[in-house]
Amino acid sequence: MEYNWSLIFNAGISLVCALILTVCVPLLKAKLGAERFAALQNRIAVCVAAAEQLFGSGEGQQKKDYVLSLLLERGLVKDIDDVTTLIESEVYRLQNS
């Protein structure tokens, strides 16, 4: 019996992302307020889409750095760790839609 390890790995990554999102997103939402959080999510979605368009497939770290630099330059975020989860969530949503 042979296992398809890539499917198991992808399932594990999805589970970890879901667990992180269930903890981090509510904390961040409470910290920012619902309206500001929604605006930040929309801006992150635009930045991630722009990075995907500019860099194409692959180059994940370069695209993430680009999105973070856009958000930092415009003063939209101060703490990178808080928005990293939102960026990863948006990338996951884009890849699975």
Q: Enumerate the domain spans of the chain.
A: 5-95
Residues in contact with 82: Cβ distance below 8 Å, sequence separation at least 6, in sequence order: 24, 28, 31
Instruction: Read off the tokens for 32.
Output: 């920012």
Quote the pTM value.
Answer: 0.64
Please give the pLDDT value at position 27.
79
Please give the pLDDT value at position 5.
78
How does residue 1 score in pLDDT terms, banded at 50, 70 and 90?
A: low
pLDDT per position as a tens digit, 15-47: 887 877 787 777 777 777 777 878 888 898 998
